[in-house]
Amino acid sequence: MTASTMDSNNGREAGGSAPQPASQPTSQRTTRTTTAPPPPLRRNWRFQLLWIGSASALTGVTAADVAYPLVILALTGSPAWAGLFGVIQAAATVLCGLPAGVLLDRCDRRRVLIAAETLRVAATGSVVLTGLFGTLTLPHLLLVAAALGAAQPLGGAARMLLVRAVVAPEQLTAALTQDELRVSLAELAGPPLGGFLYGLGRAVPFVFSALGFAVSLLCALIVRPQQPTATDPTASLRTVFDGIRALWQAPTLRLALLLVTALNACGAPLSLAVIYRLREQSTPAWAIGAALAGSAVGGLAGAALVGFLHRRFSPGTLLIGIVGLEAPVFAALAFVHGAWATGALLLASMLGIPALSVLLDVLIFRQVPDAQRGRTITATMTVVGLGIPLGSGAVGLLLQFLGGTGCLLLLAAVLALAALRAAAVPELRRAVWPSPAA
């Protein structure tokens, strides 16, 4: 839209029209300047600083996620306690998600991000200090899990809202695509880096993680949106369920969210099922790690496909297709042998996920007023995030009773049935992309 307006102006000037007189009204003389395109995203230093801070923090998170279970195993020798760390962290994220949305709609989003990153620096730094002095305990680590989980919805949603405040609307899809690159790069680099740093010393991965949060905090302190983000002073704790209520009342959005929740429930524990399957084949540990890296590589490749997929397919067709195509990939993982073939299938499983993340943003987050967007984002994250603990717990039992092959085949069947159910709803198939003006 902007480009066509500029071409029209340039055509009139090239055709020899006389310069506008100085007495022209200000509103008319300034109309030309408002059609100028925004600078390229690479020159938007506010967005790039947010991206750098987010990438640093997420790399630190993925590195520490490897180290926390190892430290708890070293302290207690119990895998159950190591698993409890993740359960507490996930539970805190879910419980704090909806109140975080209300807070984000009432308060300055930048200050919320600063507070969340300060909490994460303090929590991780406490692990470093107690580890260095040899006073680290299990209760302390479980409190850290709760703090990190509570900060997650605050920091994650606040950063998403700040991106909208520093990026032009027509560049938002490109900005979110670059953000998907951040996720894939962190998932590719973080786990092996965490294992390597833990080998250097028990506290070293947490030093790295705390530094990542500190970089993110510094970037949040520097970045100031040119326009303050809108807030809703009427929001209160009584409106904590407003976001979920609004989503649930729209049948198409409700079905889309349930479909993504099912995908999360099957996809989140996929790495556990793959590890179990590869261990059944006596695959060495280094090869298992290489196979799991296929997911991160697939995410990087999938980020490059976002624009193409959004132009080629309608949102409903794209959503159903991504979920439906996961079913044969999961089924193939049940029978394939070898780390390299497994890694190739994991790569294929991630090709559509970045497009799916941006799809949710376009269909949901951009269609609500900015003053209510915090509640909408955290409600969506809470609903789709419920699939992660549910799926992780279920897959653990499935692996115990069905083995790797049976578990993966059952997950494939669940995804196929979910996609077929969604395809039977004509409203979802007929959904269209919102116009840019909307």
Model-level pTM greater than 0.75?
no
CA distance 66 to 215: 21
- CA distance readout (Å), 284 to 23, 157, 291: 79, 39, 11
**Residue 9 in this model has a pLDDT that exceeds 70:** no
Bigger pLDDT: 393 or 143? Answer: 143
* Average pLDDT estimate for 379-402: 76
CATH number, span 238-438 = 1.20.1250.20
State the pLDDT at residue 368: 65
> What residue segments make up the domains of the chain, in order of their start?
43-221, 238-438
Q: Tell me: the pLDDT tens digits for 95-130?
A: 887 788 778 888 888 899 999 999 999 999 999 999
State the pLDDT at residue 241: 59
Domain 43-221 falls in which CATH fold? Growth Hormone; Chain: A; (1.20.1250)
**Residue 405 in this model has a pLDDT that exceeds 50:** yes
Per CATH, 43-221 and 238-438 having the same topology is answered: yes
**Residue 216 in this model has a pLDDT that exceeds 90:** yes
What is the rounded average pLDDT for all residues in the chain? 78
165: how many CB neighbours lie within 10 A of its CB? 20
- CA distance readout (Å), 274 to 70, 153, 175, 270, 346: 20, 28, 32, 6, 9
Per-residue DSSP letters for 120-161? HHHHHHHHHHHHHTT---HHHHHHHHHHHHHHHHHHHHHHHH
Q: Tell me: the pLDDT tens digits for 20-74?
A: 334 444 444 444 444 567 777 788 888 888 889 888 999 999 888 878 888 888 8
State the pLDDT at residue 228: 53
Percent helix / strand / coil, the chain, rounded to 5: 80, 0, 20
Bigger pLDDT: 412 or 239? Answer: 412
State the pLDDT at residue 26: 44
State the pLDDT at residue 310: 83
State the pLDDT at residue 385: 75
State the pLDDT at residue 244: 63
Contacts for 390 with CB less than 8 Å, ≥ 6 apart: 265
Sign of CA dihedral 214, 218, 219, 221: positive
Confidence of residue 372 (pLDDT cuts 50, 70, 90): low
* Average pLDDT estimate for 131-158: 90
